Every structure is written in C-alpha cells, then in structure tokens.
C-alpha cells in the first residue's frame, strides 16, 4: 500500500516529494497537447486552398482549355486536402465534411472567375463534390480515432501521396499504370468531378461515385467499431472490390481541348456579307 507523504506546503501527495498542486498541474488543460494543432490546420489550408488556387493561376493561359481539362484533379485534391486533414485534426466528421464543401464551392467560383466555362451539369457536379467530401472526411475521422492527436500526420502523408500521383497522371498521361490509378479514391473523385464539369454528367461516372460512397460507408464502420480490428478486413475488401468495379466500368474519356474551346462563351460573330464587295 502506498503511503501519502506530507509535502513542504502541508499537503499530501502519493508522489514522493511532490504536492497535490503538482499533480493538478500535470493534468491541467494548459499543459496538454492542443486539440486542434496549428500545423495541422496550416497543412489543411495549404493542401485544400492554397495549392489548388495556385495551380489554377498557373493554368490561367489564353483560352479555357488547360483549366477546363484539369479542373477535376485540382478540385479533387482540394476536397481531399481540406476534408481529410481537417477531420483528422478536429476529430469530427462533420467539420471535415463542411469545410470540404465550402472549399469545393470556393474553388469552383474561383475557377469560373478565371475563365472556366459554365458547368455542363451543375447538379451532377454538386453531387460529386458532396460524395467526395464525405468520403475524404470519413478517412480523416478514422485517422483521428485510431492515431489520436497524430492522425493529422497520417492524413497529410496520404494527401501528399495521392495528390502527387494524381497530378503526375494529369500532366503526363500514360506514365502511371491504369491498375494503380483505379486504386486511388482521389482518382475516383477526379473522374466524377471532371465528368460532371465538362463531360456527360455523373451517370457516366457512376462507378466512381459508387466507389466513393462505398469506401465512405466502410471507413465509417471501422471508425464506429474502433478499437476492434476485424472491421479493417471489411474496409480493405470493399476497397479492392470497388476498385475492380471502377476498372471494369471506367468513365468515358475526358473531353478534348477543342471541345473545351467550343464550349467556352464567345463574343458576337460578324454577319456574312450578302453581296461581294465591288
């Protein structure tokens, strides 16, 4: 049995040579790690807002084609960066999801201001952004549940890795194997968003949307049943099965540059002369 020893200030403590005030100091909120670390939120803003906005500015070339053809990958990285890292930093699904939705809406408005043509399918684009935001925020919430205050570091590593592969595939088509790209949820989001913005709508990319929704459901199941480990088997099985679905039912090819140029708003065209000039 441990005996309490009187301290110099007359109080008792089970820690040799320490008082009860020392124990209270060790457990006081001011000495605990911050729940929302500064660096975590800095990374969320950098990956979710600053990097996509900078990429759009760099693509602001004459004509809408460059921005129109790469708006899907840029928006996907923005949603992933903000949704996943914010949910991991805050430990709350709804915070990551809400911030991801705000980020997606802001990036679309910014892209429109830079010359992105009008959205081909606004409702489909909104649906793709919502599903992608939920899926990314669910992964961040799982990182926070499993790794506690270090979960945001895992989220940053995942975002950096998937974003690097996504931009590599967009900049140099064909350099990465297709079987690798179909394993990336960021690629699923990019395909669904790009198809909704400049393609034929989310119905054509239904397999990518279904994969995002299924991954979100499996991830939330693992987070809900934590610390049980057996749900991880369900999550990884669902991930591989949904990747196979995306492989066997790919989205249609992305629109070409000439189609993006035709879709851009043009000024009035001079009328054709009825008679030849004399």
Question: Within a 10 A sphere around the Cβ of 47, how many other Cβ atoms?
Answer: 24
- Coil/strand/helix, residue 25: helix
Q: How far apart are CA 199 and CA 195, in angstroms?
A: 4
Residue 76 covered by a domain: yes
Residue 266 covered by a domain: no
> Confidence class of residue 69 from pLDDT cuts 50, 70 and 90?
confident
Q: What is the pLDDT of residue 224?
A: 92
Residue 259 covered by a domain: no
Q: How many domains does the chain have?
A: 1
Contacts of 43 (CB under 8 A, 6+ apart): 81, 85, 152, 156
Strands 5-6 and 12-13: antiparallel
> Confidence class of residue 59 from pLDDT cuts 50, 70 and 90?
confident
**For residue 57, pLDDT beyond 80:** yes
* pLDDT (tens digit per residue) in 240-253: 999 999 998 887 66
Contacts of 247 (CB under 8 A, 6+ apart): 178, 179, 182
Q: What is the pLDDT of residue 21?
A: 36
Residue 146 covered by a domain: yes
Please state the rounded mean pLDDT for residues 17-23.
41
Residue 192 covered by a domain: yes
> Where in the sequence is the domain holding 106, given as residue range(s)?
34-253
> Confidence class of residue 205 from pLDDT cuts 50, 70 and 90?
confident
Residue 275 covered by a domain: no
Residue 47 covered by a domain: yes
Residue 19 covered by a domain: no
- Coil/strand/helix, residue 14: coil
Q: What is the pTM of this model?
A: 0.77
**For residue 22, pLDDT beyond 90:** no
Please state the rounded mean pLDDT for residues 66-83.
90
Please state the rounded mean pLDDT for residues 156-162.
95
- pLDDT > 70 fraction of the chain, expressed in percent and rounded: 73
- Coil/strand/helix, residue 221: helix
Q: What is the pLDDT of residue 201?
A: 65
Match 């610390």 to its residue by tokens: 227
């Amino acid at each position: 049995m441990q005996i309490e020893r009187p301290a110099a200030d007359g109080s008792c403590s089970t820690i040799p040579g320490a008082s009860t005030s020392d124990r209270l100091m060790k457990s006081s909120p001011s000495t605990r790690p911050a729940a929302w670390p500064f660096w975590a939120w800095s990374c969320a803003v950098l990956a979710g807002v600053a990097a996509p906005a900078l990429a759009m500015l760099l693509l602001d070339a004459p004509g809408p084609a460059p921005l129109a053809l790469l708006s899907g990958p840029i928006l996907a990285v923005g949603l992933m960066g903000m949704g996943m890292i914010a949910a991991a930093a805050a430990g709350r699904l709804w915070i990551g999801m809400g911030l991801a939705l705000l980020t997606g809406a802001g990036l679309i408005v910014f892209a429109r201001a830079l010359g992105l043509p009008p959205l081909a399918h606004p409702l489909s684009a909104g649906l793709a952004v919502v599903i992608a935001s939920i899926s990314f925020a669910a992964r961040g919430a799982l990182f926070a549940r499993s790794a506690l205050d270090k979960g945001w570091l895992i989220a940053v590593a995942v975002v950096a890795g998937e974003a690097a592969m996504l931009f590599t595939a967009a900049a140099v088509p064909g350099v990465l194997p297709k079987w690798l790209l179909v394993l990336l949820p960021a690629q699923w989001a990019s395909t669904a968003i790009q198809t909704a913005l400049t393609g034929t709508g989310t119905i054509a990319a239904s397999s990518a949307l279904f994969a995002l929704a299924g991954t979100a459901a499996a991830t939330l199941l693992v987070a809900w049943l934590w610390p049980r480990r057996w749900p991880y088997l369900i999550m990884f099985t669902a991930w591989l099965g949904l990747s196979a679905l995306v492989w066997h039912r790919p989205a249609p090819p992305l629109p070409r540059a000439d189609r993006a140029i035709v879709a851009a708003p043009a000024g009035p065209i001079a009328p054709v002369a009825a008679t030849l000039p004399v």
